[in-house]
Amino acid sequence: KQEVTQIPAALSVPEGENLVLNCSFTDSAIYNLQWFRQDPGKGLTSLLLIQSSQREQTSGRLNASLDKSSGRSTLYIAASQPGDSATYLCAVRIQGAQKLVFGQGTRLTINP
Amino acid sequence: DARVTQTPRHKVTEMGQEVTMRCQPILGHNTVFWYRQTMMQGLELLAYFRNRAPLDDSGMPKDRFSAEMPDATLATLKIQPSEPRDSAVYFCASGLSGGDTEAFFGQGTRLTVV
C-alpha cells in the first residue's frame, strides 16, 4: 500500500528566505507526482507535475525535484513571500489504479 | 477558464437527512475523483470513475454513500442517511485517463451534519 509522508507538518520562516518542503513515498511504482497548494477554506491548486521519468520541474520561484528510486520529492521555494503562506500537499499517482495518494501536508507560514 | 465546479459550496443539514453533492468536471475530462478531507485523516479517496464507470469505490462506506455519473458532465455523491461524522470537505477532481496527466480540483463542498 502506497504511503506518502510530508515533513515537517508545519514550518514558519521569515520573508525572503529560501526553503525546502519534503515528500516521501513508499512505493516507486508511480506515474507522476503532483504538488498542490491549499489556502484556508479553499480548494487545491496544482503547482507542479513531475512525470516519473523526469528529475525536476520549475515554475517561477518554485522548483520541484523527484528521485523515484529513493521515494523522495522536494519543493524548493525561493525568496519566500507572505503570500506563499498556505498548506502544501504532495500526491503520487500510483501505477495501475491511477488514483492519487496524498500526504498530510506541510502548513507554511511566511512572516513579514 | 476551464475549472471543476462543485455545488453546493456549503451545506448544513440535520442528522438523518439525505445530502447530494454535485460536480461538473472540466469538459473533455474522462476521469473523476471524489475525495474527503478532514483534519484527522487528511485527503481520502472515496470513489474514482473513468468514462463514467466506477473503478474504485473501496474508500466509501457502502451502507450510506453512493456515487454516480449520470452523464459525462455531472458526477454526484450522495449520503443517506447523513451522520455527524460525515462532516468534512468533499472535493471533486477531474483529469484525462492515462497516468501522466494532471488532476484538477474543485473548490469543495463543506458539509456540516448537526
pLDDT in tens, B17-45: 999 999 999 999 999 999 999 988 899 99
In 3-state terms, what secondary structure has residue B84? helix
| Structure confidence at residue B99 as a pLDDT band (50, 70, 90) | low
Strands B109-113 and B10-13: parallel
Residue B86 — φ and ψ, nearest 5°?
-80, -10
Mutate to test the interface with B, among A57, A100, A107 (most CBs of B within 10 A): A100
Contact A32, A52 (CB under 8 A): yes
Q: What is the mean pLDDT of chain B?
A: 93
Residue B85: per-residue pLDDT: 95
Answer positive or negative: Cα dihedral of B27, A36, A53, B55: negative
Segment B48-66, tens digit of pLDDT = 999 999 888 888 988 999 9
Distance in Å, alpha carbon of A18 to nearest chain B alpha carbon:
27
Q: What is the mean pLDDT of residues B78-83?
A: 97
Among B91, B93, B99, beta carbon nearest to A98: B99
Q: What is the mean pLDDT of residues A78-89?
A: 97
